[in-house]
Structure 1
Amino acid sequence: MSDFCTEITPQCPVELTTYGYYPNLGGNTFFTIYFGLLGIAQVCLGAYFRTWTFLAALGIGTFMEAAGYVGRILMHYNPWSTPAFRLQIFCLILAPTFIAAGIYLTLKHIIVYIGPEYSRLNPKLFTWIFIGCDVGSIILQAAGGGVANAAGTDQDMINAGNNIIIAGIAFQVATMSICGILALDFFIASRKHWRGGSPREDMTEKRGKRMWWGFSAEVAAYTTVLIRCIYR
């Protein structure tokens, strides 16, 4: 019966939809605005400081998050909406991949600034290897989404598509975990050589505080994206 449902009716109750409930309007509206504002901020800051690659990664990631939550809002009004479901599942699965790319870029520049000699991996390779793995993850997830989307009512094909998506997400989790281990190893190795609480002797107190804020933001972003990927 659910194959022919397009809206909530007595024959097509919300319990039979993919999620089985009405997505929360308030929460999804909040995150739509939140990520939309972050996306605008990323575009403005990226253009001002001319960090074009970082702008592209974070801009795409944040705007895709916003678009995904728009899909959730649409599903609040009609949980049977196929276009809304596809919009939110596509955007919310792929968006963290672009945000992770921004994390790798930031980590590379932190290592270059503090001291590449403390890193087991050449800083230039952080972007090549981990963003390359991100691209592989995107391809896997997109391929899985395509298979599931083309499956129609073929449950075996739908399951195959979902399994490919899960494989892509698992690959991303593994990639981020390895990156996190390398970053932690770098921090421990470099920390032994810090002087006066600053990673560089020529660093002023003001710049040192800004660097700590940068560290904190990097760790927070990494942790939340990793948790998000594991949850997905």
Structure 2
Amino acid sequence: MGLEQYFPPGTDEDTIQEAISKYYYSCTEVTPTCPVENTALGYFPNKGINVFFAIGYFLAMVTALVLGIRTKTWSYTGFLAAGCALEAAGYAARVPLSINPWNKHAFETQIIAIILGPTLVCVSIYLTLKHVCLALNPALSRVRPQRYPFIFVPLDLSCLLIQAIGGALAASGALTNMRVVQHGNRCIISGIVLQMLVLGFFGTVAGEYFVRTAKWIQSGQADAEVVELWKNKKFRMFTYAVGGAYSGILIRCIYRTIEMAGGWGNHIMQDEPSFIVLEGFMVLIPFILLAIFSPGYFFPQMAARMSARKGRGTSDSEKHAGSPPAESEKPGGHHNTTTSGDETSPASETLVVEPASVKTEA
């Protein structure tokens, strides 16, 4: 960093780096002795693009809340709106950094908010698989559809917790202990890598289910209503939106893993164009897609299940949700899905055999 020359010969490298870090942490504004190049970002963030992102996430949040509250898709909307709020706060915090990159509170806010925001929106993505399986053919799923949230959501929240711990360690150790900062950085990387692995697992499971469903429908064994839903334009748009959101978040996680692996202030972290494209737009686009293509309007079956829990208690059929599927629920047979919409209990979904078609409880 240019200050090593002021230390006596033979001084331990860790001691030098910690002393230099403490010195720069004491900087409060850009000066000849506290140049912008020695901030973690290494540049003055572009004010206009960060205002654009903050407004974009705010509008996505409002859209998600308005459409979600109208259609009572509480879980999906709640996580999506919370993610939007974090992202909006993060990019709003980058605006004062465009004036003073040494603004510590703004820097810590944008780091924590922008890192954690995508983790919350992943929950909304994970919830869709359960409802798609229930609407098409639950028997084709390798796992009972109602259990998907209990596999992916805890894993995703674990990613959130690990990254939050990492951010707290990095912030608390920045003034006194560089080793704590390094441990915090490793926690953040671990959380992002875990999130990337969970996304990969989800993509594999969802992709395999869609392949099996497509083959089943092409075989001519599917009911007319299932075929109609499969070909429904709005349903296809919803699945494309979720697929696009999933792809954007996955690309962002790969970028973040590479960026954070180099440590604070590395050349990737100090490259604003890559941040704008691979972090900013790769997360904003998924939020906009999930907010606009609300399941309440593009996938009513999902909205009906999610809202039904508000008006129902535990039914007798729910008490038997753990029983093995009936013979008629196997691929090729007729089936029906009746659900409570509850995302918080594995017993909240049950398969009820009826003779003709797939119906959704309103």
Corresponding residue SS for 2:224 = coil
- Does residue 181 of structure 2 align to residue 158 of structure 1? yes
The percent of aligned pairs where both chains have the same amino acid is: 37
2:96 to 71, 74, 80: 74
CA distance in 1, matches of 2:156, 2:57: 21
TM-score for both structures, normalised by structure 1: 0.94
More helix, by proportion: 1
Equivalent position amino acid for 2:243 in 1? V
Q: Which moved more, 1:78-87 or 1:104-113?
A: 104-113
RCO greater where, 1 or 2, for CA within 8 Å and sep 6 or more? 2
Residue 113 of structure 2 is aligned to residue 87 of structure 1:
no
Residue segments in structure 1 that go unaligned for 5+ positions in a row: none
Q: 2:80 aligns with which of 32, 55, 58?
A: 58
Structure 2 Cα separation of the partners of residues 206 and 164 of structure 1: 42
Q: Identify the residue that residue 102 of structure 1 maps to in structure 2.
A: 124
Larger C-alpha radius of gyration, 1 or 2?
A: 2
Report Cα offsets for 1:119-146 as digits up to 9, x if no partner.
Answer: 2122122111111001111111111111
Segments of 5+ residues of structure 2 without an aligned counterpart are 1-22, 257-362
What is the Cα deviation at residue 111 of structure 1? 1.4
Identify the residue that residue 241 of structure 2 maps to in structure 1: 217
Please give the alpha-carbon distance, in whole angstroms, between the structure 1 residues aligned to 2:86 and 2:187.
21
2:251 to 204, 227, 230: 227
Any idea what the Cα deviations from partners look like across 1:92-121, whole Å, max 9, x if unmatched? 111111110000111221111111122212
Residue of structure 2 in register with 1:172 after alignment: 195
What amino acid is aligned across from residue 130 of structure 2 in structure 1?
A: K
User: How many residues are paired up?
Assistant: 231
SS at match of 1:84: helix
Could you tell me whether the CA contact under 8 Å between 1:21 and 1:79 is conserved in 2?
yes
Separation in 1, partners of 2:82, 2:223 = 33
Q: 1:98 to 1:41 in 2, by over 3 A?
A: same
Query: What's the offset of the Cα at 1:13?
Result: 1.2
Rounded Cα–Cα distance in structure 2 between residues aligned with 1:65 and 1:201: 43
Give the TM-score normalised by the residue count of structure 2.
Answer: 0.61
Q: Call closer, same or farther: CA 1:116–1:177 in 2, change over 3 Å.
A: same
* Contact residue 87 and residue 113 of structure 2 kept, 8 A: yes
